Amino acid sequence: MALLPILEYPDERLRIVARPVEIFDAALHRQIADMFETMYAAPGIGLAATQVDYHRQLIVIDVSEEKDRPLVLINPNIVEKEGSQTCQEGCLSVPTVFADVERAERVVVEFLDREGKAQRIDASGLLAVCIQHELDHLAGKVFVDYLSPLKRQLVKRKLDKRRRQQAA
Ligand code: NI
């Protein structure tokens, strides 16, 4: 297994729209294992393939306290949405930045598991937020896109400054 480099906003590669996974082979399983390792090490509760410059519809999630409930969503599709909730979100591609985003309170998502078998989850609360956030990544969207242009400028400046400090 290996830690994968995570793309940082405003990297243009975060805008690439992911294509469906078609082949369920050892290479895919290695990619999934590497993404889990990268997510747990960060640490984070979700990681979309887009964020590690792999442009297929693949997401790994674990919102459990004990980090023992790994969830793999392949070619996911939200088929039902209900209610609304506002949660303070962060993102491994937008380090040190947190902001409120409004999302559906409950989503039903259909997807394939790592063996290519069709699955369905009815999620609410944090898991629902996480699923919606990660699905956005596969569509080339980042959570700061929901902020005002002014706030987005502040985010870019903060990240520029952080990168300069790290380089120094
Ligand atoms: Ni994210």
Q: What's the 46 CA to ligand 1 centre distance in angstroms?
A: 7
Joined together, the tokens standing for residue 80 give: 């039902």
Ramachandran area for residue 67 (φ above 0: left; ψ -120 to 50: alpha; else beta)? left
- Measure 100 CA to ligand 1 centroid, in angstroms: 13
What residue spans define the domains of the chain? Answer: 12-85+102-143
Residues with a catalytic annotation lie at: 134
pTM of this structure = 0.96
| C-alpha distances in Å from residue 155, one per residue of 9, 61, 97 | 9, 25, 7
CA of 90 to the centre of ligand 1 (A): 7
Over residues 31-67, the pLDDT tens digits come to: 999 999 999 999 999 999 999 999 999 999 999 999 9
**pLDDT, tens only, 133-153:** 999 999 999 999 999 999 999
Kindly indicate whether the domain formed by 12-85+102-143 is annotated with CATH number 1.10.10.10. no
Over the stretch 81-117, which tens digit does the pLDDT of each residue have? 999 999 999 999 999 999 999 999 999 999 999 999 9
Query: Nearest-5° angle of CA 73, CA 77, CA 80?
Result: 120
